[in-house]
Structures are given as C-alpha cells and as structure tokens.
Amino acid sequence: PLWQKRFDAALPAVATGAILVAADSSDRLTAFDMQSGEVVWRQEGLFLRDLTGLAADARAIWVVDGEGFLHGLSPADGQFIGRTRLDGPLSGPMRSLQDGGLLVQTVNGRLTLLRP
C-alpha cells in the first residue's frame, strides 16, 4: 500500500484530482492527499446531517443529506460553493458523468440530471 489510515467511514470514499474525500460516522468530511495520505482539509458543516450520498467531479465534491439537500464543496479547501434542495434523500449512489453532469435519484422517485 502507498498509505493507510484508520478512519470510521460511513459512505464509500470518492476521489477527484489529487484528493480522496471520505465521510465519517458523524458526517464530517475529510480530504486526504492521494499520494501522501495527509489531511488536506476537513469540513464539519454537515455534522450529524445523516449524509446519504457522496460523489466528486473536477468542479466539486457533492454530498446529499438526510433532508434532501445537495451540497457542493470546493475540492481545493472544502468550503461550500452551492446548495440546492432535492425532493428527498437519495435512493442510491449519485453518478458523476464524464461531460460534467451529476445524476441523482431520490427515494420519492425523482431522477434528476444536474449540469453546470
């Protein structure tokens, strides 16, 4: 292994560029440098928000909370860069598309394609 960390992950980690982002069991996000494993940033603004999904693309780290809010975070520093309300929590994993779109499906049966 290049590196290993002990981390109480609650969702599958996602990667974009040179970072890997993981959510812990208290819904705090941590970004790790892919080469060294060192912490790049932490975001605690979603603490105990019952995160239901995590995705990443070149523009943002995307996370959906239990109330159905889709949050966009900057990959550079973890700061919030956008937010929109979906019609509920996710029913499955989000998909980042190669052309820059984000596909989400909620438990209420709505399939949404988001584009920049």
If you ran DSSP here, which 8-state letter would residue 9 be given?
B
**Beta-sheet strands, E only, within the chain:** 14-16, 19-23, 29-33, 39-43, 53-56, 61-64, 69-73, 80-85, 95-96, 102-105, 111-114
Q: Residue 114 carries which side chain, given as an amino acid letter?
A: L
72-113 residue pLDDT tens: 999 999 999 999 999 988 998 999 888 778 999 999 999 999
Q: What is the pTM for the complete model shown?
A: 0.91
- Two tokens at 108? 């209420």
**Beta-sheet strands, E only, within 39-106:** 39-43, 53-56, 61-64, 69-73, 80-85, 95-96, 102-105
Residue-level pLDDT at 101:
87
13-38 residue pLDDT tens: 999 999 999 999 999 999 999 999 99
Find tokens 């940033």 and name the residue.
Answer: 41
Confidence of residue 48 (pLDDT cuts 50, 70, 90): very high
